[in-house]
């Protein structure tokens, strides 16, 4: 199973970064490229422990659904979401946050497995891992831009 590790330095307090990372509204902003929309479960605001969300998004020219549950949360330093159903065989995303002088280090550990046995393994190696890494990097850059500007106030004060 491929695992993608990312570290993003954000010049904002850990509480703000943690809350933005679990914001349904920010997720939709950061995934505009795939036209991601929430269609079931938690549909706005901040997702919490044991809550679910189902997303509909266009990947590789095909609309797909992905349902996840928040399975672990230690505010403001960690939360984890796991796939309940979707295009992957399995998917887990651990989000960790560490304070440092002047900001927050945000860590992503994204582990997934493609369906279809050997064909899925080939897809992971040829393009899927690169695609998912790019997806996460774009999302993290949007989160960073919002957290480091005044835009975060609009997203976190509506909750």
Range of the domain at 61: 3-157
CATH number at residue 25: 3.30.530.20
Nearest alpha carbon to residue 57 among 145, 132, 6, 141: 132
Domain count, the chain: 1
Q: What are phi and psi of 12, to 5 degrees?
A: -160, 155
Residues 90-99: contacts with CB within 8 Å, 24+ apart? 90/1, 91/66, 93/68, 95/21, 95/22, 97/14, 97/17, 97/18, 97/21, 98/14, 99/13, 99/14
Mean pLDDT of the region 1-13? 97
pLDDT digits (tens, 9 = 90+) for 51-92: 999 999 998 889 999 999 999 999 999 999 999 999 999 999
Confidence label for 159 from pLDDT (cuts 50, 70 and 90): very low
The model carries a pTM of 0.94
Q: Are 39 and 56 in contact (CB under 8 A)?
A: yes
Q: What is the pLDDT of residue 158?
A: 54
C-beta separation of 88 from 114 below 8 A = yes
pLDDT score at 32:
87
């Amino acid at each position: 199973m491929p695992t993608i590790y990312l570290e993003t330095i954000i010049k904002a307090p850990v509480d703000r970064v943690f809350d933005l990372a679990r914001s349904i509204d920010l997720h939709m902003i950061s995934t505009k490229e795939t036209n991601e929309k929430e269609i079931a479960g938690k549909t706005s605001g901040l997702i919490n422990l044991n809550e679910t969300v189902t997303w509909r998004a266009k990947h590789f020219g095909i609309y797909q659904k992905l349902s996840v549950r928040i399975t672990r949360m230690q505010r403001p330093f960690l939360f984890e979401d796991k796939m309940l159903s979707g295009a992957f065989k399995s998917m887990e995303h651990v989000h960790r946050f560490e304070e440092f002088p002047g900001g927050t280090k945000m860590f992503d550990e994204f582990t997934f497995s493609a369906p279809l046995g050997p064909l899925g393994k080939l897809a992971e190696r040829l393009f899927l891992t690169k695609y998912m890494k790019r997806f996460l990097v774009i999302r993290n850059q949007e989160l960073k831009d919002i957290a480091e500007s005044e835009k975060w106030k609009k997203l976190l004060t509506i909750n």
